[in-house]
Amino acid sequence: MNKSRFNPFFLMLLGIVVVLSGCKKDDPEPEDENELITTVQLKFTDGTNVQTFQWRDIDGDGGAAPTIQNIALKANKTYKLDVSLLDESKTPAEDITEEVEKESDEHLLVFTSSPSALLTYTYGDKDANNFPIGITGSLKTAAAGTGTLQVVLRHQPPVNGMRQKNGTATPGSTDVDVTFNVTVSN
């Protein structure tokens, strides 16, 4: 006996496969991307004396090496420190500092001195959750010496609706990581 009919189970299975393959999953929400930062400016103010030092890498990773100015400060002084972050790959340049301030609950600047006793940074700003930001603060120099100051902007956006920023550098990813040579003199 020759049956030319399809098995009803097979037809039902084929129908389910066609229906499911036609369904499109919701597109995932775009991730909160890291900022492109081509210039980091550090403005040190001691009374009326203002000095600005910068790291600049206009073409981004690869290509030409960044230009980095050496920081020269006086020993045993406290400086007001203001940070400016720019994306100069665009015309006109985009002030990323404004975005970091606007999204302060997702950003943290971290300052690391080597040797650690050469410089001490104190945060001067906080976000709505009382965590530090780092756009402004103070930097105290110790006795004369040389070393480095590493400045890292951590991007700490919420993950699955849960806040990640906790006042430490651990969560998130790095927007920019620069190291300046520092000379502290009498």
What residue spans define the domains of the chain? 35-185
Can you tell me the distance from the alpha carbon of 91 to that of 93, in angstroms, rounded to the nearest whole number?
Answer: 5
Predicted confidence at residue 26, as pLDDT, reads 45
Q: State which fold the 35-185 domain adopts.
A: Immunoglobulin-like (2.60.40)
- Ramachandran area for residue 59 (φ above 0: left; ψ -120 to 50: alpha; else beta): alpha
Predicted confidence at residue 67, as pLDDT, reads 97
pLDDT in tens, 47-88: 999 999 999 999 877 788 999 999 999 999 999 999 999 999
Q: Which residues contact 178 (CB under 8 A, 6 or more apart)?
A: 40, 55, 66, 68, 150, 151, 152
Can you tell me the distance from the alpha carbon of 39 to that of 89, in angstroms, rounded to the nearest whole number?
Answer: 10
Can you tell me the distance from the alpha carbon of 103 to that of 179, in angstroms, rounded to the nearest whole number?
Answer: 24
Can you tell me the distance from the alpha carbon of 42 to that of 179, in angstroms, rounded to the nearest whole number?
Answer: 12
pLDDT in tens, the chain (186 residues): 555 555 666 556 555 655 555 544 444 444 567 778 999 999 999 999 999 999 999 987 778 899 999 999 999 999 999 999 999 998 999 999 999 999 999 999 999 999 999 999 999 999 999 999 999 999 999 999 999 999 999 999 999 989 999 999 999 999 999 999 999 999
